[in-house]
Amino acid sequence: MAADSQSRDEERRVPRTRQDGPTGPSERARPTSRDVARHAGVSQATVSLVLGEKWHGRVSVRTAETVRTAAHQLGYRPNLAARSLRLGRTRTALLVVPVLNSDFFAHVHTGAARVAAEHDFGIVLYPSPEVVSPTPGPFHSARSALDGVIASSMAPEALAVLRGDGLPLVMLDSDPRGAQAATVNLDIADGMRRAVRHLLDLGHRRLAHIPAAVDSWTFAVRARALAEALTGTGGALVRTEPAALSVADGLRAATRVLSATGPDRPTALICDDDLLAAGACKAARRLGLRVPTDLSVTGFDDLDLATALEPELTTVRLPAEDVGAAGMRALLSVLEGRSTATEVLPVTLIPRGSTGPPPGPS
Amino acid sequence: MAADSQSRDEERRVPRTRQDGPTGPSERARPTSRDVARHAGVSQATVSLVLGEKWHGRVSVRTAETVRTAAHQLGYRPNLAARSLRLGRTRTALLVVPVLNSDFFAHVHTGAARVAAEHDFGIVLYPSPEVVSPTPGPFHSARSALDGVIASSMAPEALAVLRGDGLPLVMLDSDPRGAQAATVNLDIADGMRRAVRHLLDLGHRRLAHIPAAVDSWTFAVRARALAEALTGTGGALVRTEPAALSVADGLRAATRVLSATGPDRPTALICDDDLLAAGACKAARRLGLRVPTDLSVTGFDDLDLATALEPELTTVRLPAEDVGAAGMRALLSVLEGRSTATEVLPVTLIPRGSTGPPPGPS
DNA sequence: CTGAAAGCGCTTACAG
DNA sequence: CTGAAAGCGCTTACAG
């Protein structure tokens, strides 16, 4: 079907016949550097030199000025396809994210696109339908004309596929060990430590963890950091109940956790994500538990959701936009042949209403 | 700075020197159609014909097969820059949305990208920083190599700018009247009617509206439809309090509305958006009002947020992904010279826990 | 049924 | 200081 419509398109693709009269290019056709040259009374090469800022010491100041004026009058904008063909570069980067339905990735995109625009790059977004395998997608599509790839929070296998493609790659929020690629990470471990310390400081000793049932570095780190942060503190992890990344599944997992009685019953729930935390809050309410009086809940991300809830979520804020921006900057460095150190961006714990002291000894 | 880094890039941009020995292209260089031709023992034109599915009746079945095999063996993928240059088309569409921080637009993108991929098109996303004016952005950037534009939920002036650019344009969720462009809309008016009828059926007679303080068709329609739906029903709009599109501002507006006493005090709040509805629920709670016992609240969109809240939001679900998909299809039609009728997609009211009968007469 | 050739618009050595 | 020319990889008339 794709092929069908494509061929239909192409039949109509007769290159525009130039209808230039003695007065110059017809109104219809977009002006080219030749038109500018004609207009300025110089060669087309000179136009290219001037507009590409390579003219210093090669073209007279006056001529350069004439060219610029002509280009402006004609509304000239260079044909990017031609430039790409000549240069072998497209000034386009692909941003691969697991799903687009989270604010987090929307913000990553925003940051990356901002930096890209400053450097005359474009960003194409590819929400990988399956977290595991981006295989069928980007490199078979029309947009495969790419200078590099930025991949955020992908599963290891997916990253392997990406890496195998040979394109310059920057990984975001991914395992930096043994990576062949530049990495921009969040200090996820520190975020988890802060959350745990916050709960311990409030007096909690029996915690449960609702990890995201997603195979990626970013969630693996959370689990590891949680275990580490707890050792030797008197606090204990009484339960771990993974959930898919949705409110509904968070609710289900939390319900199971909270059905325990006695010492197995946690006083605080640490959730890998705000969506899960929202589900946990719902679960608590349905079981007649008040947040935070009877149960404390923490999340990760600080999505809009976090402050929409009542009480508002105590959560670890991840600077998603900064991650995207740093990622694009790293890719630019790689493309320029500069080496880049792994960057780790700090995160912040935002204490809000969903955490408080544990209930008195029961 | 952009120019700086650009020129630095380009200095390194010496076209790859072909190092083809008698054994074919060097490992490094990406294979071209010439390589495939050599490999298959045919001319480069034949390769182009076969791979472009234009060979039927022009090339023998056997030759075609040979070419395909060679292309596959070499891992050949056509150079898109070259094709674009030749064809004058880029197979890339720009999707302009007011902001990306809403799930709604993420889903619009998903739908558009899916259809685009089926037709070998790419989508570049442009979150217009200001809802009003997209001016500085996309057409000055590297990605200006565009075949068309899809603009969702933009302010009229922004659309005017887009229209002025002369690129094929499809508008989403926008005023269809007097539009020069194809339009894909949601039946927003019907959604509002359903919400109102739902509240009237529950017994509500005093409603308040929290419109989004955003200048766009989609919100103008909500206000108009609300007024119309109320005429002659015994129901009245006792208050209108606009709010910026955020939970915090929804909270502020709802607090003002709910501070009224007597007959000015509504029993139900109709919010233009789920974010505002979430704010309204928070306001109610802070004022000691229970939802839905003391106050009913409705939203629009059916974001994740809607079911994360407790009680869950009664809201009008907008099929965002379908909008994006239909928009891309419409753009494809326009590009093929086919005319397109304005499409209007149905919406659904999802009754949930945030609405109920009004409190007894006070 | 197949091949040689033109040309899309650009950038960059290379000659003057 | 400036211009003529080559060539990036492709598609499509046009000749055979």
Position A328 scores a pLDDT of 95
- Whether residues A182 and A203 share a domain: the answer is no
Same domain for A205 and A225, yes or no, is yes
Q: Are residues A325 and A180 in the same domain?
A: yes
Chain B touched by A9 (CB under 8 Å): yes
**Is the pLDDT score of A159 beyond 50?**
yes
What's the pLDDT score for residue B134? 38
Whether B270 and B305 map to the same domain: the answer is: yes
Residue A283 has pLDDT above 70, yes or no: yes
Does B272 lie in the same domain as B153? Answer: no
What single-letter DSSP state applies at residue B264? G
Asked whether residue B224 is assigned to any structural domain, the reply reads yes
Best mean pLDDT range from A140-144, B63-67, B348-352: B348-352
Q: pLDDT (tens digit, 9 = 90+) per residue, B285-337?
A: 999 999 999 999 999 999 889 999 999 999 999 999 999 999 999 999 998 88
pLDDT at A87 over 80: yes
* A194 and A313 within one domain: yes
Whichever domain contains A281, its CATH number is 3.40.50.2300
Contacts of B79 in chain A (CB under 8 A): 85, 145
Beta-bridge partner residues of B350: B315
Residue B348 domain flag: no
Does residue B290 reach within 7 angstroms of strand D, measured from its CB? Answer: no
H or E, element range at A299: strand A296-301
The domain tally of chain A equals 3
CA A135 to CA A145: how far, in whole Å?
16
Looking at the domain assignment, is residue B305 inside a domain?
yes
Same-domain status, B155 and B198: no
Task: Tell me whether B110 touches chain A (CB under 8 Å).
Answer: yes
A77 pLDDT higher than 70: yes
Domain span holding position B110: 90-185+321-340
Residues B132 and B228 in one domain: no
pLDDT of A156: 78
pLDDT(B352) > 50: yes
Is the CB of B5 less than 8 angstroms away from the CB of A332? yes
Q: pLDDT confidence of B361, banded at 50, 70, 90?
A: low
Q: Rounded mean pLDDT of A31-47? A: 88
pLDDT of residue A190: 97
- B52 contacts in chain A (CB < 8 Å): 7, 10
Q: According to the model, what pLDDT value does residue A281 have?
A: 97
Cβ contacts of B230 within 8 Å, gap of 6 or more: B196, B207, B236, B237
CB atoms within 10 A of CB B249: 18
Q: How far apart are CA A171 and CA A151, in angstroms?
A: 5
> Is the distance between the Cβ of B224 and the closest atom of strand D smaller than 7 Å?
no
On whether both B149 and B272 belong to a single domain, the answer is no
Is residue A29 very low, low, confident or very high in pLDDT (cuts 50, 70, 90)?
low
**Per-residue pLDDT tens over the stretch B132-190:** 333 333 344 444 568 888 999 988 777 777 776 678 899 999 998 866 788 999 999 99
Any domain includes B96:
yes
Whether pLDDT at B338 is above 90: no
Q: In DSSP terms, which residues pair with B232 in a beta bridge?
A: none
Boundary (domain end) residue, out of B15, B48, B78: B78
In a domain, B2, yes or no: no
**Cα–Cα dist A337/A335, whole Å:** 5
pLDDT at B29: 65
Residues B119 and B265 in one domain: no
**pLDDT above 90 (res A132):** no
Sheet holding B236-240, edge to edge: B236-240, B206-210, B268-271, B296-301, B314-317, B348-350
- Asked if residue B19 belongs to a domain, the reply is no
Is residue A16 domain-resident?
no
Q: What is the pLDDT of residue A161?
A: 74
Residue B314 makes CB contacts below 8 A (sequence gap 6+) with B195, B198, B296, B297, B298, B299, B349, B350, B351, B352, B353, B354, B355
Give the number of A-B residue pairs with CB atoms closer than 8 Å.
192
pLDDT at A136: 39
List CB-based contacts (under 7 A) with strand C. Answer: A 15-16, 18, 29-30, 32-34, 44-45, 47-49, 51-52, 54, 76, 78-79, 82-83, 85-87; B 10-11, 13-14, 41-46, 57-63, 82, 85-86, 88
Please state, for a pLDDT cut of 90, what percent of chain B lies above it: 46
Mean confidence (pLDDT) of chain A: 83
| Pair B264, B238: CB distance under 8 Å | yes
Which sign does the torsion angle of CA A174, A175, A180, A182 carry? Answer: positive
With the C-alpha atoms ordered A140, A144, A148, A149, is the resulting torsion angle positive or negative? Answer: negative
Are A48 and A161 contained in the same domain? no
R_g over Cα of chain B? 27
Measured CA to CA, the distance from residue B280 to residue B272 in angstroms comes to 11
**Does residue B294 lie in a domain region?**
yes
Q: Of all protein residues, which has its CA closest to the C1' atom of C13?
A: B14
Q: Kindly state the average pLDDT of the residues A8-21.
A: 34
CB-neighbour burial class of residue B289 (10 A; exposed 0-12, middle 13-18, buried 19+) = middle
On whether both A71 and A96 belong to a single domain, the answer is no
**B280 at interface of A, judged by CB pairs closer than 8 A:** no
Radius of gyration, CA atoms only, chain A: 27
Q: Residue B55 is part of a domain; what is its CATH number?
A: 1.10.260.40
Q: Which residues contact B223 (CB under 8 A, 6 or more apart)?
A: B209, B211, B240
| Yes or no, beta carbons of A282 and B118 under 8 Å apart | no
